[in-house]
């Protein structure tokens, strides 16, 4: 009996049963796969995804989808079938898949049409196992928010200078039946403002507290619901109540620009730590985590500029094409504070070469893959190369 106990102890403490840290075991291979995608090397990308998937029990939907896209582009639908079934078990609908360009490739259309009946059967068999406590809170906030929006009033001044009311259909009935004065509308609007602010404060607190206490629910326990294969209901709620609505005296509302403005800095730090832990456990994708971190300043992002030059005669610039030149630069934003920087590094997001290549790929080339990037592209037309050169000299150029 003693030997049996020792054997079981050793077995349960072996790597087979130990908790895998996705940041160490999973994402390095995913990084290599994503870099290969930016080079159109789909076979290498798929091999790296296989390495990542073999290291963990439940790979994540975003990466499974990209592996499927690799197989489609390699004209290997049979090799994609096991991965498609994994997506089905995560609750991803056929509609979400068919919205993606890669599912419209001619080489896989007939095979997909034959296979999707089985896919739908597997997908429909899965049952959401959402925490009833969180679900009830979300439903309560959503119901209150929808009711508030259905009874909203905005007072505005039209072109002739007269005050007008923009009212929802529920209040429109009251106006039609008994009349509604501008003063009544303003009073109602202020009441909505108080209710709205109270609602958002409570929603923010409840959602943040839930994540701090329990972390994020896994993809299997709350299905992925967006076309980018990242967000579940938990994440959607965080996003919905991230900013508080502030109603104004003259109608309408403004939105706080500071995420979760009602949450203390200490609680935000706990929230960020819980996000990192959820990534470590493989409950959510690190690309989603970066969007949700409350301490992360998102204005430190990549900006790409496309300069179209009208007259390239006597141009001293080395143009790859005769009509325009592309230049990429990083716009300086706020520096991360120490704790935010540590949170980002803990998510294995320090590979800035990969971040840059993914951003460029998504903006300029990608048709088939789910790729996250906060990068933006700006286009400008200038009359001559001299003006284009001035723009380039002011930019902090990374690559050209």
pLDDT digit string (tens) for 321-379?
545 555 555 554 556 667 777 777 777 666 778 888 888 888 888 889 998 877 777 78
Residue 387 CA to residue 309 CA, distance in Å, equals: 9
Q: Say whether 211 sits in a helix, a strand or coil.
A: helix
For 131-150, b where at least 16 C-beta lie within 10 A, e where not — what string? eeebeebbeebeebbeebee
pLDDT above 90 (res 102): yes
pLDDT of residue 12: 40
DSSP-derived letter for residue 101 is G
How far is the C-alpha of 119 from the C-alpha of 88, rounded, in Å? 6
Residues 6 or more apart in contact with residue 397 via CB below 8 angstroms: 327, 328, 329
DSSP label at residue 232: B
Which range has the worst mean pLDDT, 22-36, 131-145, 343-357? Answer: 131-145
Predicted confidence at residue 296, as pLDDT, reads 65
More confident position, 92 or 299: 92
The yes-or-no verdict on residue 65 having pLDDT over 80 is yes
Residue carrying structure tokens 């008994």: 178
Note the pLDDT of residue 315.
74
Among 300, 284, 201, which Cα is nearest to 245's?
201
* Ramachandran region, residue 91 (left: φ > 0; alpha: ψ -120 to 50; beta: rest): left
Closest by CA position to 400, among listed 317, 323, 332, 333: 317
pTM, 2 dp: 0.77
First to last CA, the chain: 69
Q: Which of 241 and 164 is assigned the larger pLDDT?
A: 241
Residue 166: strand, helix, or coil: strand
115 membership: H or E segment, kind and range = helix 109-125
């Amino acid at each position: 009996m003693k030997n049996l106990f020792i054997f079981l102890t050793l077995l349960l403490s072996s790597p087979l049963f130990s908790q895998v840290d996705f940041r160490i075991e999973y994402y390095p291979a995913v990084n290599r796969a994503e870099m290969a995608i930016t080079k159109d090397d789909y076979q290498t990308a798929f091999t790296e995804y296989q390495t990542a998937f073999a290291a963990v029990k439940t790979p994540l939907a975003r990466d499974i989808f990209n592996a499927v896209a690799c197989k489609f582009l390699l004209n290997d639908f049979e090799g994609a079938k096991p991965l498609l079934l994994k997506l089905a078990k995560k609750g991803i609908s056929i509609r979400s898949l068919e919205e993606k360009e890669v599912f419209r490739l001619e080489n896989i259309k007939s095979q997909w049409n034959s296979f999707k009946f089985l896919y739908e059967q597997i997908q429909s068999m899965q049952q959401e196992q959402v925490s009833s406590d969180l679900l009830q809170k979300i439903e309560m906030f959503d119901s209150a928010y929808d009711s508030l929006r259905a009874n909203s009033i905005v007072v505005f001044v039209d072109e002739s200078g007269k005050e007008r009311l923009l009212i929802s259909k529920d209040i429109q009935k009251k106006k039609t039946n008994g009349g509604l004065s501008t003063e009544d509308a303003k009073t109602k609007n202020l009441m909505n403002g108080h209710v709205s602010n109270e609602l958002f404060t409570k929603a923010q607190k409840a959602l943040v507290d839930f994540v701090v206490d329990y972390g994020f629910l896994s993809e299997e326990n709350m299905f992925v619901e967006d076309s980018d294969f990242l967000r579940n209901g938990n994440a959607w709620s965080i996003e919905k109540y991230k900013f508080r609505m502030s109603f104004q005296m003259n109608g309408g509302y403004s939105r706080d620009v500071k995420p979760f403005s009602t949450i203390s800095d200490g609680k935000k730090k706990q929230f960020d730590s819980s996000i990192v832990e959820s990534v470590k456990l493989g409950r959510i994708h690190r690309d989603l985590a970066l969007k949700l971190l409350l301490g992360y300043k998102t204005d430190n992002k990549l900006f790409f500029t496309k300069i179209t030059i009208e007259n390239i005669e006597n141009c001293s610039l080395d143009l790859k094409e005769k009509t325009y030149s592309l230049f990429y630069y990083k716009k300086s934003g706020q520096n991360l504070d120490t704790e935010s920087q540590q949170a980002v590094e803990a998510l294995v997001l320090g590979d800035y070469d990969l971040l840059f290549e993914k951003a460029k790929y998504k903006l300029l080339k990608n048709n088939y893959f789910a790729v996250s990037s906060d990068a933006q592209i700006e286009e400008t037309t200038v009359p001559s190369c001299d003006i284009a050169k001035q723009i380039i000299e002011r930019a902090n150029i990374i690559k050209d």
